[in-house]
Amino acid sequence: MTRDLLGGFTLGSLSRAIQSRDVSPVEVTEACLARIDRLDRTLNAFITLTPDRALAAARRAEREITAGRPRGPLHGVPIALKDLFATAGVRTTCGSRILRDWVPAEDAGVVRRLHDAGAVILGKLNMSEFAYAAIHSDYGPPRNPWNLDRFTGGSSSGSGAAVAGGLCFGATGTDTGGSIRNPAAHCGIVGLKPTYGLVSRAGVVPLAWSLDHAGPMARTVEDAAILLDAMAGFDPADPTSMAPAPVGAGGRLPLEASAPAVRSLRLGAVDGQLAKETSADVAACVREAVRVLQPLVAEVEEVILPMLEEMVAAWWTICLAEASAYHQQTLAARAQDFGPIVRERLQAGLAIPAVQYLQAQRVRRAAVLEFDKLLAHVDLLVLPATFAEAPPIAAADAVHSSEVLRRRTVPTAPFNLLGLPAVSVPCGFTDSGLPVGLQIVGRRGEDRLVLAAAHLYEQSAGWWTRRPPLDERTSSS
Amino acid sequence: MAAETIDGPSVKAFVIAAMRLAGVAADDEMLARVLPLAETALADGPRLIRAAASTLEPLAHPGRPVAAVHVMAAGRGGAGA
């Protein structure tokens, strides 16, 4: 290899190089596979690799591009899938022993869209078991490329490790209470939980139907926007699916074109309300990010999130009940095949009364109305994506108290309950050199505006240019 | 973010009954691990009842979720749009 195909490109710049035929999809796919071969024994990001399929897709992309039939910006770009997106003919484990040998007959709707866009799919990524709590011992935890003794966060754990480690140019994730934004923040990449319904969940194994969102994870905001454009769209197989916003409403405009709109925005910064929960170095990074954003927008004011405690309570009730409903039959038949932490949560969820679940849904509606009022006053909310830096690997498997579990969901889960678009974008590093994520939240359907604001911040702050010192660490180990 | 307190023995009896009804065996060792989480979740009940009382709105039909309804109403597309 005479040129740095993996470190030197983002998904966006690689896409342009492929379209101008400066880089071959086959060459870059081979480079990714070689890097996976070298690093994934350490990172443990992949559960299943599909090199033959990837190379076949890369060759097809090369032929089509050479023949003047480009499919769009993902054509020939190597990406990977969280292992709960069904893939025809390729096992889909959900990080579980229960589905260890499940080979779906059909692709998930999102996977079909990514194939149609010409993406090269390298394989299936490690994740928390059924996207719920801990990594199953059959697969072991992925390691954080910024510090191999640290966890990536979850549940889209392998997606975070693979993108941050430069094993692929983007990945899919799912987010029920923070599972895209949490590993994105901990791994120093961008992760978007889109508006509820914007990305189809057909063929995506659920955790909790009314809270689940599928979305992109990538190195930069532009990369995430390119992935989102391919992933989003109406799917009749998902009854909650909706059409993306039309171009006139900012639907697929280049992010730069949205910059003037960002400059007229009012930003609501959530600070004091979460100060007690947030570690000092994370809080300092987020405050500095708000300072960087201040001259880029019309106005910044501090705001309070309404009904925060009630939303966290409603989220836990709904998530526990819906997850247990989905897994009830398997839990009765094969309880011992679940990992202990997931099994305990599923068992606890059986005891949620129907009336409490319905009260939680009523609270959810009341919270939606309160946030409609807040987001009539400010256009975007900014807050930490996590309260603390990535935990040590050993702590990732620990059984935590209910209070610790609840605390972790506070910055992210409310936006799953509300269905609002929320992105985590890198905003600095803690004292121990681990990445911190700034969360930007917008109104329903305004995903493009959220990404535009994140892009403007990202380009001003410049954190995205830093890469984990992975090659030095793995070559000396 | 603490949940409210709740009567422990009542929770234990309720959890055992719920698990038996679901066809899941409940032994003492397992209950010792499950009960703290179930207690915390059930203790949210009173808070949710109070907060729910602030709205008289009907719940959305599950086939037409809140987010999609809202986006359609705002003229930004929607299921089938």
Q: Which residue has the higher pLDDT, A51 or B53?
A: A51
CB contact under 8 A, B71 and A352: no
pLDDT of residue A258: 76
> Long-range contacts made by residues A275-284, C-beta under 8 angstroms, separation at least 24?
A277/A387, A277/A407, A277/A410, A278/A384, A278/A387, A278/A388, A279/A387, A279/A388, A279/A389, A279/A430, A281/A389, A281/A430, A281/A431, A281/A436, A282/A384, A282/A386, A282/A387, A282/A388, A282/A389, A282/A430, A282/A436, A283/A384, A284/A428
A155 is catalytic: yes
CATH number for the domain harbouring residue A98: 3.90.1300.10
CA pair distance A229, A117, nearest whole angstrom: 10
CB contact under 8 A, A369 and B55: yes
Residue A284 counted as domain residue: yes
pLDDT of residue A253: 65
Q: How confident is the model at residue A476 (pLDDT cuts 50, 70, 90)?
A: very low
CB contact under 8 A, B33 and A365: no
Residue A406 counted as domain residue: yes
- Highest-confidence segment of A279-283, A366-370, A472-476, B69-73: A279-283
Please state the rounded mean pLDDT for residues A134-146: 95
| pLDDT tens by residue, A33-67 | 999 999 999 999 999 999 999 999 999 999 999 99
CA distance, residue B77 to nearest chain A CA (Å): 6
CA pair distance A172, A200, nearest whole angstrom: 12
| pLDDT tens by residue, A72-127 | 999 999 999 999 999 999 999 999 999 999 999 999 999 999 999 999 999 999 99
Cα→Cα distances A9→A194, A229, A451, Å: 25, 20, 20
CB contact under 8 A, A402 and B14: no
Q: Which of A200, A242, A318 to mutate to test the interface with B (most CBs of B within 10 A)?
A: A242
Residue A456 counted as domain residue: yes
pLDDT at A405 over 90: no
Q: What are phi and psi of A434, to 5 degrees?
A: -100, 145
| pLDDT tens by residue, A179-192 | 999 999 999 999 99
| pLDDT tens by residue, A261-289 | 888 999 999 999 999 999 999 999 999 99
pLDDT at B78 over 50: no
pLDDT at A453 over 60: yes
Q: Which residue of B has its CA nearest to A327?
A: B22
| pLDDT tens by residue, A371-391 | 999 999 999 999 999 999 999
In this complex, which of A243, A331, A345 lies closest to B78 when CB atoms are compared? A243
Between chain A and chain B, how many beta carbons pairs sit less than 8 Å apart? 175
Residue A232 counted as domain residue: yes
Is B32 an interface residue toward A (CB < 8 Å)?
no
Residue A326 counted as domain residue: yes
Residue of A257, A262, A259, A254 whose CA lies nearest to A379: A262
Q: Which residue has the higher pLDDT, B40 or A438?
A: A438
- ipTM value of the model? 0.84
Q: Which of B19, B21, B34 to mutate to test the interface with A (most CBs of A within 10 A)?
A: B34
Contact indicator for A230, A114 with CB cutoff of 8 Å: yes
Residue of A232, A363, A349 whose CA lies nearest to B66: A363
Please state the rounded mean pLDDT for residues A436-447: 96
Q: Which residue has the higher pLDDT, A458 or A246?
A: A458
Q: How confident is the model at residue A250 (pLDDT cuts 50, 70, 90)?
A: low
A477 is catalytic: no
Mean per-residue pLDDT over chain A, rounded: 94
Q: Give the domain range for residue A386.
A: 18-476
Our count of domains for chain A comes to 1
Please state the rounded mean pLDDT for residues A418-433: 97
| pLDDT tens by residue, B13-26 | 999 999 999 998 88
Helix (H, G, I), strand (E, B) or coil at A385: coil
Dihedral sign computed on CA atoms, order A87, A91, A94, A99: positive
Residue A51 counted as domain residue: yes
A179 is catalytic: yes
Contacts of B6 in chain A (CB under 8 A): none
Cα→Cα distances A147→A19, A79, A348, A469, Å: 35, 23, 34, 9
Residue A9 counted as domain residue: no
pLDDT of residue A472: 66
CA pair distance A168, A29, nearest whole angstrom: 9
Residue A200 counted as domain residue: yes
CB contact under 8 A, B45 and A353: yes
CB contact under 8 A, B66 and A419: yes
Contacts of A335 in chain B (CB under 8 A): 24-25
